[in-house]
Every structure is written in structure tokens, then in C-alpha cells.
Chains A and B, each alone.
Chain A
Amino acid sequence: MEALLPLFVVIPLGFAFITALLGRYIPLFHRIAIPLVFLFLSVLSVWMMANLRETVLTYMVGGWEPVNGIPVGIHLSADGFSVLLLVIINSLAFLSAFYSYAYIEQYTSGHYFYALFCLMVAGMNGVAVTGDIFNLYVFLEIAAIASYALVAFGIKKEELEASFKYQVLGGIGSLFILFGIGVLYWATGTLNMADIHKIIGSTAVSPGIVFAGVLLLAGFGIKSAMVPFHSWLPDAHSSAPSPISAMLSGVLIKSIGIYCLLRFFFNIFTASSQVAYVITTLGVASMVIGAFLAIYQWDIKRLLAYSSISQIGYVVMSAGIGLILLCNHGDIHVAALAIFGGIYHLMNHAFFKGLLFLNAGSLEYRLKTRNLLKMGGLASSMPVTSSTSLVASMAIAGIPPFNGFFSKLVIIVAAVKSGFYGLAIIAVIVSIITLSLFLKFQRYAFYGKPSESATTEKDVPFSMEGTMILLAVCCLLLSLLIFPFFRNLILMPAVHALMNATI
């Protein structure tokens, strides 16, 4: 099974360049082949998840065996968390690519769109499977550069400007990460994640390692748009084509931001409670400020983008609480519950935020506007878009029986059990604000008085409708993960993978 790991990078990378080569001459090739590729990869990742359970796979690229116990060469490794991320990335990539089948007709040179899309997924898959910190940086940059280009894909004023802003801030973030990796290599003399953890664990805390930790926290904070560093996200995510917005908000900030952050601070550094408090504070700040900023937005996609900041805050806060408990030798079960809540919410957010961005894309596809004030009364003319967006809104606002309710419940219960009553109350309040946000979205877009300026007779084409229905079903089915059987199968390996190294 180890030999399958490189395929997650090689297949999308290969298809990116096949598309760039052939797409110009065979118009339908990429629109049919690329979704099939991602379908294959998501089936493969689900199969790996079913077989992997609690084991950790290590794969030595080029067959470079360790010399005297010191790893040489690049290692790929997969544990529960990376495989979970692979499933999220590839299934959402499949759905977005299938959605793009009809959506991409608005643009010329669609083959470049698919080529960049494949490159982005290759980078994200690479981040998930790599076990080497410099290799992580390279894959992170592949994903990031492809996303910079995709944000500017429409080459209108706003898109170019958003892309420039995103590139400058993302570039600073990348350079911080590279600097951190350099300092870490200087302090430990190795690039292998497991090896670094062993060396850091066996020596006293040195200033170099603390400095590297600060740099990496800042870098990944920028990449995952935590609150002091969030200013690029609303512009970039709202300017991109909608399937790409779904990928950026649903997967990209998680795989190159949150995943790397958790990987570094749980599995590589020896956890210290100061860092854990900083991470929790960042999470709470993102959660609150993101929600408040979202209220004022009248552009649907900007509203959704700000709400992404807020929802990511939940994930980070919950993981931070888990890290605090682990550092202070608190109750190990509560810590596991907090991390479980964070990862569960991460998975849920990928699906419902992906669905919401696709809904916004459908509205934009038919109405050519993103302004909520120019819509209204669309529930009757666009029934599929309306009903699926209702499902997603209820999921994100935390209304049972949808998945968002259960993950938020777990996070709040974990916060109460660990004694952070204030954080639990804040989480509830932010959840109520989120509810009001999405009531506003529903009210102005689908109900109320029909507006004259933007009306449509029919709903969107089949591929877009089908994707949205599939995602809505996913939102309902993911709430099954709260039951112990599914939880132990899918989410607990990820929680244990994060906790094992820290204990």
C-alpha cells in the first residue's frame, strides 16, 4: 500500500501537463477526463482510509534506506490525519471539477483552468503525504502559486488586484515558512519530521527552535488567514471562479494552513503551553472578528469568505484547547474530545462551505451579479439551488440533524469539560451570529420580493445541479460520524495520529 502514496502527487501533476498539451486541440478531453481522475483518486483515498486504520505508512522515495538509523532522502508518510485530508481534498476536487463542466463555458481557454486546478490538487496532496519539511514547503508553494493564478483567472480589475494582494501576503507567508524551515534545519541538522521530533524531544529547548516556532506560526497563520493576517482572504476567495472558491475555502486554507500548523505544533515541536495559548487566542479572535465582519457584507461570496475565517477559528480554537490540556497534563480524554471536535468541524466545513460557494456560483452564473440586494424571490425559479443552499446554511449555522450541529456541539462540550466556560459561551454566541448571517443570505437571495433587475427562468445545468445535490447529501450523511462506529473508523485515527507524538 505504501507504493500508492506517490500516485496522489504524480497522477494530478501528470494530468495537469497532459491537459496543457492536449486541451488546446481536443476541447472536451479535459472536461471529461479530469473529473474521472479525481473520482479515481478519491476512491483510492477512501480505500486507503478503510485499510489504514491506526497504522503509519512510511515510504522512502528512491529507495534510500536510513543509514545508521538516520534517514536520508525524502520520506513520504501517511497516518490517519493525512489520509483523512486526502479524502477531503480529492472528493471535493472531484465535485468541483464536475461542477466546472458547465460553469467553465463562461471562460475561454478552459484547458488552462483545468491544468492549474490539477496542479493545485497535486500540491495539496503532496502536502498531505510528505514526511519531510522542505518537501512540504515545495508542495505548499506549488499549491499556492497555482491558486494565485486561478484567483486572477478572470483577468478583470478586481480579480487582478485580489490576486496581487494575495500573492504579496502569501509570498511573505511562504518566506516566513522557508525561514522557519531553515532555522529548524540549522538547529537540528535534519529535515525528516519524525527525526526532528526525536531530536527536539531529546535536547533542551534552544532559542533557535523557539524562533523557528514563531516564524512557522506567523507563516502558517498567514496561509490559513487567522485574524491579524486575514486581509487577503475575502478578496481572493470572492474573486476566484466559484468552483475554485469552493476549493480555496473548503480545502486549500485547511491543507496548507491548518494541517501544517497542527502537524508542526502537535507532531514536530514538543508542545509548550505558551504556544498552545497563542494558538487558542488566534482561533478565538478569528472566530469572533470573522463573524462580525461578515454581517456587513452584501456581496454573497465576500460574506461566505468572512464566514470561512470564523469557522476556521472554531477548528483552531478547538485544537488549541486540546493542546493546552496535553501540555498541562489535563484529562487526556477531554483533550481527545477537543481535537476530535476540531477535526470533525474541519471535515464538515469543507463540505458545507464548498456547497455554499457552489450555490453562490450558480446564482452568479444565472444572474451575473453577486449583490444580495439585487436578488430576491429565487426560491421558485431556482429550486435546486435554493433547497441545497438551505441545507448548507442550516449545516453551517448548527441546526440538527445536519453535520455542523454535531461538530459544534462536540467543540462546546469539550470547552466546558476542560473548564474554558468563557470560550464555550463565545462559541455559542458566534454560532448564533452565523445563524443570523445565513438567515440574511436566505432571506435576500431566495425569499422576499422578487427583484426586477435580476430574474431567471430556469435553474442551472445538470452537472452543477448534480454536484450541489451530492454535497447536500454529504452534509446530511456526515452527521453519522458522531456515532462510535463511524467515528472510530474515520475520525479517531486522525485524532490519535495528532496526539501520539505529543503524549
Chain B
Amino acid sequence: MNGMSLIVKKITQLMAGIIFLYGVYVMLHGHLTPGGGFAGGTIVAGSFILLIVANGIRVFGLHREEQLSSAVESIAILVFLLLATAGLLTGAMWFFQNYMPHGTPGNLVSAGLIPVYNLVVGTEVAAALLTIFLGFVIYKAED
């Protein structure tokens, strides 16, 4: 379980950053183009999983990383719930109320809270997928 050859390691190290950025791009443009939080989150998780697969399971401190990603997951959901519940406190008293200024359709900063939701959902999905993957890897490593 020492990972793959040097070529694979080097290439994945170069590619992982680009894949990560592409995931963030998909998340941020969720309200303008097809895609959004879930699709972007899976891409971001893919970049991490690629690194782990290429470099072998002994490279990272897997347990620490698993704790971190599950903590990030919980925090992301709590932020999402807080944002949604804050709608109850604004004037109109609706849960999930889109209380931020809407802006002009088509701009990157528009549609009020939806890009923020997308970002939070993306973080949550990425962390959850990574947690599931690490859970399986840790279980395998205990053999």
C-alpha cells in the first residue's frame, strides 16, 4: 500500500489542484449554469480521493483526516440550517426565505442566498463523500 509509481504520483499532484478549482467553479456557478452544490462537491471530493489513491494510504494521517472531514461535514450542515432558519427571523417569517438582495440575473453575485447555499452544500457533499471513502479505507487498512 505504498501508492503507485512516481509518474502517477507527480501527475496527480499536478492535476488535483486543477480538479479542486474546477469543483469550486461548478459550485460557485450553480445558479447560472447546470451543476451546483452536489456536482461541485463530488468533484472536490474526487480531487482528494485521487491523491489518496495515488499516494497510498500511509501518506496521510487517515484517522485525523477522517475526524476533520466529518467535523467539516457537521459544521457545513449546521451553517446551512442556520442560514435557512435565519429566514424565520427576517420580516416575512418564512423558513428558507431568500432574504439577501437578489441582484441582476446572470451576474455571478446574484440570486441572493442561492450561491451561498450552493457553496455550503458543496462543502458538505465533499466532506461527506471523503468521510465515506476514508471510512472504507481505514477499515481496509486495519486488516
Contact = CB atoms under 8 A, between A and B. Distances in A.
Check A-B contact in the complex, CB < 8 A: yes
Interface of A: 3, 6, 10, 13-14, 17-18, 20-21, 59-63
B93 A3 contact: yes
In terms of DSSP, what is the predominant structure of the interface of chain B? helix
A116 B95 CA distance: 24
Contacts of B71: 21
Interface stretch (B13-21, B40-48, B49-57, B77-85): B77-85
Given A62-B87, A63-B97, 18 more contacts: A3-B93, A6-B85, A10-B85, A10-B95, A14-B78, A17-B78, A17-B81, A20-B74, A21-B75, A21-B78, A59-B95, A61-B96, A62-B94, A62-B95, A62-B97, A62-B98, A63-B87, A63-B94
The residue in A17, A18, A21, A60 that gathers the most chain B C-beta atoms within 10 A of its C-beta is A17
Q: Give the top 7 A-B pairs by smallest Cβ distance, nearest first.
A: A63-B94, A62-B96, A6-B95, A17-B74, A21-B74, A17-B77, A20-B74
23 contacts: A3-B88, A3-B93, A3-B95, A6-B88, A6-B95, A14-B78, A14-B81, A17-B78, A17-B81, A18-B78, A20-B70, A21-B74, A59-B95, A60-B94, A61-B94, A61-B95, A61-B96, A62-B87, A62-B96, A62-B97, A63-B87, A63-B94, A63-B97
Interface residues of B, number: 18
Nearest to B96: A62
B92 A63 contact: yes
Contacts of B85: 6, 10
Interface of B: 70-71, 74-75, 77-78, 81, 84-85, 87-88, 92-98
A61 B85 CA distance: 11
Contacts of B78: 14, 17-18, 21
A20 B77 CA distance: 11
B94 A10 contact: no
Contacts of B92: 63
Contacts of B81: 10, 13-14, 17
Contacts of B75: 21
Given A3-B93, A21-B75, A62-B94, A10 B70 contact: no
A311 to B, nearest CB: 36
Nearest to B92: A63
The residue in B81, B84, B87 that gathers the most chain A C-beta atoms within 10 A of its C-beta is B81
Nearest to A24: B67
Nearest to B97: A63
B37 to A, nearest CB: 16
